[in-house]
Amino acid sequence: MTRVSIVTISFNQAEFVERTILSVLAQDYPDIEYIVVDPGSTDGSREIIERYRPRISKIILRPDQGAADGLNGGFAEATGEIFGFLNSDDMLLPGAVSSAVAFLEKHKEIDVVSGHSNIVGPDDRFLRRVYSDRMLVKAYVYGELFLMQASTFFRREIFDRVGGLNVKNRISWDGELFLNMALAGGRFAVTNQFWSAYRIHEQSITGTKSNKERLRRSHEEIFSAVMGRPPGKTDTAISFGYRMLRKILNPRDTWERIFRGPLFGRSLNS
- Spatial separation of the C-alpha atoms in residues 185 and 58, rounded to whole Å: 31
H-helix or E-strand spanning residue 214: helix 209-227
- Spatial separation of the C-alpha atoms in residues 129 and 234, rounded to whole Å: 32
Least confident of 47-51, 178-182, 221-225, 265-269: 265-269
Residue 266 pLDDT more than 60? Answer: no
In the 8-state DSSP scheme, what is residue 261? -
Residue 206 pLDDT more than 60? Answer: no
Residue 150 pLDDT more than 50? Answer: yes
Q: What is the mean pLDDT of residues 12-39?
A: 97
Task: Tell me how many domains the chain contains.
Answer: 1
Which tens digit of pLDDT belongs to each residue from 77-93?
999 999 999 999 999 99
Contact between 153 and 193 under an 8 Å Cβ cutoff? The reply is no
Q: Is residue 152 part of a domain?
A: yes
Which tens digit of pLDDT belongs to each residue from 32-44?
999 999 999 999 9
Length of the chain: 270
**Domain carrying residue 54:** 4-260
Q: Is residue 269 part of a domain?
A: no
Q: Is residue 270 part of a domain?
A: no
Q: Is residue 265 part of a domain?
A: no
Q: How confident is the model at residue 269 (pLDDT cuts 50, 70, 90)?
A: low
The pLDDT value recorded for residue 210 is: 60
For the question of whether the overall pTM of this predicted structure is more than 0.85, the answer is yes
| CATH code of the domain covering residue 35 | 3.90.550.10
Contacts of 52 (CB under 8 A, 6+ apart): 21, 25
Residue 114 pLDDT more than 90? Answer: yes
